[in-house]
Amino acid sequence: MREAYIIKAYRTAVGKAPRGFFKFKRPDELAAETIEYMISQIPDFDKKLIDDLIVGNAMPEAEQGFNVARLISLMGLKVDDVPGVTINRFCASGLETIAIATAKIKSGMSDCIIAGGVESMSYIPMTGFKPVPNYNTVSSGKEDYYWGMGLTAEQVANEYKVSRESQDLFAYESHQKAIKALEEKKFSGQIAPIKVKEIYLDENQKKKERETTFNEDQGPRKDTSIEVLSKLRPVFSATGSVTAGNSSQMSDGAAFVMIVSEKMLKKLNVEPIAKLIGYSVAGLPPKIMGMGPVRAIPKVLDQVGMKLKEIELFELNEAFASQSIAVINELKLEKDIVNVNGGAIALGHPLGCSGAKLSVQLFDEMKLRKLKYGMVTMCVGTGQGAAGIFEKL
């Protein structure tokens, strides 16, 4: 099989939803401008060389509907030649697109694909506008198929004996690591600056327009503490332990990578960043969906013939502190190489974007640390897990 190389990788800053700095930024615009910025980083690049645009999105409706990938292609590339397809594996959608693009290039079907994801949780609510569970499924005792993620987090906390205190500590440490990363400008080279226009009233109550550029994540909080976190009430169960403080933030963001064949690599005369060498997904009971990585990680390691100890850096999506702690404990992961710059509790979780976003972050940190193998892994709604292994080049 041929080889597939990632040559560019960018993400937006992540905004809080629904009242953050991207609250009025449509997701198709957010994604299009991210891709436009990425393309601008390749001198004299002919956009017609792109075979496809694959976009991950967890709630593909309304402003994220109409096969949003094709609209993003038209808006961001400004040519008619590049098709687009929208992919949904909930939280792993962005990572799934990278796997699909890699497979298509390795099989010889394509030479150049842009893959990634976008999500606006400011525009589209968590379950979409009209969730319609199957009555027969629910009445037959399978209501957990439709559980909200918070209920699954409580289930994991109970089954795997994860205390409220450990969850709050994990959340606090996520913020501290993220704040440190921001202060050290760890993310500055990977973020596509996005401009947002807003209408406001001046001192004379006249409408004015201003434009602001956002290029730094909005989520990390310097003012949080163990004491503050410990006072928050449980959200999903009166007697539970999962709070807004130890859960991932609702967010808006986009992230994309460009993947090419060796032939295209030579044609463009660019240096590769990394390559995806293995990807696996797995299923498990929906009520403990947070444990998905425990199934997916051994599967992908077996696929490529590697041992867990060979993975030098992990980006584990922090859907909730309870499931992150349980996954780390069950797999006996080395905590000091997991989410070294903070995770979704501090930095946010723009659903369909997250897998691609974490990949972009992983590449930069691996380069900084001079590492060879890293992994992006996440739990997925309705009882799934996903894990991808990247080799830094």
The catalytic residues are 91, 349, 379
For 344, the 3-state DSSP assignment is: helix
Other Cβ atoms within 10 Å of 43 Cβ, number: 8
For 73, the 3-state DSSP assignment is: helix
Name the amino acid, one letter, at 350: P
Look up residue 377 and give its two tokens.
């892994």
| Cα–Cα distances in angstroms (integers) from residue 28 to residues 35, 39, 60, 73, 80, in the given order | 11, 16, 11, 9, 16
Q: Answer whether 50's CB lies under 8 Å from 116's CB.
A: no
Cβ-based burial of 216 (10 A; exposed 0-12, middle 13-18, buried ≥19): middle
For 114, the 3-state DSSP assignment is: strand
The residues near 305 (Cβ < 8 Å, ≥ 6 apart) are: none
Cβ-based burial of 168 (10 A; exposed 0-12, middle 13-18, buried ≥19): buried
Tell me the pairing of strands 52-56 and 112-120: parallel
CA-wise closest residue to 285 among 152, 392, 112: 152
Find residue 258's DSSP bridge partners: 8, 114
